[in-house]
Structure 1
Amino acid sequence: MGQETRTLATQLIRGMGSFFKLCACSRQSRCPHPYTIRYRDATGRQVEETGYSTQPDAVEQLAKIYTEKRDIPRQQADLKRQIAKQRFGEYASSWLARQRHYAPSSVRSVNQVLNSQVLPTLESRRMNSFTSTVVEDFIMSMEERSVGLDAQQNAFDTLKKILLDARRRGGITDDPFDGVIPPEYIPRKITIPTLDEIHHLKEVSSDELRVIIDLMSGCGHRNGEAYAANLERMVADDVYRITEQIDGTTRQRARLKHRKPGEFRETPMPSTVRESLLRYEQGHGADLNGYLLRPQRSPYWAHTTLEYQWSAAKKRASITRKFTTYSLRHFFASNCLSRGIPVTDVAEWMGHKNINMTFKIYRHLMPASIGRAAKLLNEGL
């Protein structure tokens, strides 16, 4: 067979496209090679597809595509074309503005990832030019700049959300992540405070910090969620409902991370935590809405307040091991998993968006899971 060449395309009605064969056969109507069709999609981009065994098959597919395009409302088609021509930086900005379920802290985090990793490389690129090769080149550029794997994964996840949103709205035709291997961040080994260390910290802490330590180590709260400690959230003797957080930078109430406004999650509340909250309320009272932690100079706690009191408490307790307040959440997870509580429940209580991250971080805390499974299976046999 001779070298394949593109034969003259058969043009159909205006806007419908054309069909042809990529072969050098003298009688193409009878040769076994497939037909290729060429058309423009709703965004105006030229597309070629091959694999049609007969001419009627090719014409039928072109007619179907033409009918679908014709039936698309003009406003929708115009929007697709507009998105396709937009620069990434402009689209990313409009995308973030539409994420109304993001808490202010999440918006700041996304902006930081965009400004530090994504926009310097991709800001001026048109949306319809994104392909899997472009995404792979972006990952390679981060590797060449020795960007840490955790930052690589955050940048990749942010880029993926934005591009798949543009594809869903018709601005990108093909999946730009098809075949792309994402960077995989393996969390480093975590430091878990011991129960003795927690007790020593509570002995030398302020009453306010003691409440935060109890909520984080006993119920799995995040820092900002503990700042919002509230008697009204004790919905049962052994259940605490987390409905909001205090933004540690702005000192304002905010929705939960990975939750829409009004959504909440519930966690088991050990009796020691319940008694801690009630004891604080008896000694210091609560405001009219049930909030416990009320600094003198501002309505709510902030990260700076926590950092100062935490450092002072560690020093007074003579604790030299390097762990932060967030390590108290690791203690909560360890306490749960070491007692056989399923990781799915732990992920829900801790407010993780994806159970895969919970599993990666805490997999090693599951006590002899493979050995235990082997024994259970053996009993079944």
Structure 2
Amino acid sequence: MGHVEDRWYKVIRHPGGRKERIKSDLFGKGMRYRVRYIGPDGRERSQSFPDRAKRDAEAFLVSTETDKLRGSYVDPKAGRITFAEYAEDWLRTRSFDESTRESTEFRVRKHLVPFFGSRQLASIKPGHIREWDAGMVGKLAPATRAVVFAHLRTILGAAVDDERIAKNPCSAASVKPPRPVQRRVVPWRADEVSAIRRGLAERYRPMVDLGAGCGMRQGEIFGLGVDDIDFASGSVHVVRQVKVVRSRLVFGLPKNDRDRRVPLPESVTQSLKEHADKYPPLSITLPWEDPFSDERVTVPLVFTTTRRGAIKRATFDGKSWRPAVEAAGIVPTRATGMHALRHFYASALLDAGESIKALASYLGHSDPGFTLRVYTHLMPASEERTRRAIDDLFR
């Protein structure tokens, strides 16, 4: 059992057993009370308190002994590491693919370290979280705020797991996580998709067919190999994407690290065959995931640039996609990228009666619930389906 020591006084014994409490050499200097106790690892630890704080020292001792019995003890000294130091350690030891690591490092260092960096982990309170979030309003888009807050909560959650702090201040009831604004998806019409397709160079037009007809992401289309297309079974095996990591092109797994098979419509099949006749596949070699890795992968890509290289998203968007969107009479915004073709695909399948579970699988969503939240408003109204079902039965 621990005890509270008064460092300003000491007890001496006189002959005959009489005890006398006298001032020590430390009287009036530094912290007066020192709590001494044995930690769960068997080592003696201490915590000091100033004059007139004996009750605080005793409360600390009671709390410490209780936490030891409950198995929730955290060494107060463990939380003295600064947020910046711990965040860098978290970034170093966290398992990411390289593109995710790059974006996470950027957000943590730009939006979290300036505010929390010099603070000790144990000193970060829910009020600091609320203050930081309020300061980000207007500076960051709601979606970005939500992502950065998730990083903060994960870092402090790891500190709890590492027994640096007792609880995560981000989980306090007074802290309300920022939520991104849910914008209702408005799919393009078929004529708008066709107009954008016509505005692209001929060698890139089948990309629109894959986006609108198979729901593939832009990077997945760029990384499509000729061996990934199974014309016999009528399917596309989505196994990789082309992405930019630290300003360099690499091959990598699709989003969520999940490959998938997508039905290949006959119209898209014909488009790809005609494309292959005019623009034969080219074998492209790129690093896998990490641009500085020695691992190289060679893929006969279906789509390449006029300079016989892999397609870089920023270059394609600026020189090909955006002009085609403008030529189709559509105002370019964040919502008019190639990702909009996936919305067109989703709306077409839902209108045809496809299930949310199947749609989530084709789109590569890890959670069908996410698919439902994004596209539920595009599903045919239940009242109309009910009328149609009963009318068909009575007929």
State whether TM-score is above 0.5: yes
| Structure 1 portions without partners, runs of 5+ | 1-10, 18-35, 41-45, 50-60, 70-76
**What is the distance in 2 between the residues matched to 1:237 and 1:324?**
30
Aligned pair in 2 of structure 1 residues 87, 300: CA closer, same or farther (>3 Å)? same
Aligned partner of 2:243 in structure 1 is: 247
Task: Tell me, yes or no, if structure 1 residue 300 matches structure 2 residue 294.
Answer: no
**Contact 2:218 2:339 (8 Å CA) reproduced:** yes
Change (3 A) 1:246 1:134: same
Q: 1:97 to 1:214 in 2, by over 3 A?
A: farther
Match of 1:361 in 2: 374
Aligned length: 317
- Note the C-alpha offset of 1:127: 2.5
Identify the match of residue 160 of structure 2 among 167, 170, 181.
167
Q: How does 1:9-20 map to 2 (within 5 A)?
A: 14-15=38-39
1:99-145 deviations in whole A, cap 9, x for unaligned? 444242x23332332244322222222233344443333323323x5
Matched, 1:157 2:150: yes
Q: Give the letter aligned to residue 237 of structure 1.
A: S
8 Å Cα contact 2:282-2:308 kept in structure 1: no
Say yes or no: does 1:96 pair with 2:94.
no
Q: Which residue of 2 aligns with 1:336?
A: 349
Deviates more, 1:170-179 or 1:126-135: 126-135
Counterpart code for 2:219:
G
User: Could you list the per-position Cα deviations for residues 325-367 of structure 1 after superposition, in whole angstroms to 9, with x for gaps in the alignment?
Assistant: 2211211221222223233433343234555543443232122
Find the aligned partners of 2:279 and 2:343 in 1 and give their Cα distance. Answer: 29
Is the alpha carbon distance of 1:108 and 1:101 closer, same or farther for their aligned partners in structure 2, counting shifts above 3 Å? Answer: closer
Q: Quick one: distance in 2 between partners of 1:306 and 1:13? A: 64
Contact 1:209 1:306 in 2 (8 A): no
Which residue number in structure 2 is paired with residue 285 of structure 1? 280
Equivalent residue letter for 2:147: N
State the shift of 1:253 in Å: 1.4
Corresponding residue of 1:207:
202
Q: Which moved more, 1:193-202 or 1:233-242?
A: 233-242
Task: Say yes or no: does 1:139 pair with 2:152.
Answer: no
Larger Rg: 2
Offset of 1:48 from its aligned partner?
7.5
Distance 1:62 1:93 in 2: 30
Give the distance between the partners of 1:306 and 1:181, measured in 2 at CA.
36
More strand by share: 2
**Aligned residue number for residue 22 of structure 1:** none
Contact 2:197/2:205, CA 8 A, preserved across alignment: yes
Structure 2 counterpart of 1:246, one-letter code? V
1:301 positional shift: 0.1
- C-alpha distance in structure 2 between counterparts of 1:349 and 1:134, whole Å: 43
* 1:339 maps to amino acid: A
In 2, Cα distance between equivalents of 1:344 and 1:136: 38
Residue 256 (structure 1) aligned to one of 254, 257, 261? 254
Contact 2:216/2:342 (8 A) holds in 1: yes
| 1:166-197 C-alpha deviation (Å, 9 max, x unpaired) | 32233232133142321111222444221112
Whether contact under 8 Å (2:325, 2:331) holds in the other structure is no
TM-score by length of 1: 0.70
The SS at the match of 1:320 is coil
Counterpart of 1:110 in structure 2 is: 104
Which of 271, 280, 285 is matched with 1:276 structurally?
A: 271
3-state SS of paired residue (2:300): coil
- Identity of paired residues, percent? 22
The CA distance in 2 between the partners of 1:83 and 1:295, in whole Å, is: 54
Q: In the alignment, is the contact (CA less than 8 A) between 2:192 and 2:328 conserved in 1?
A: no
The change in CA–CA distance for 1:129 and 1:358 in structure 2 (over 3 A counts) is farther
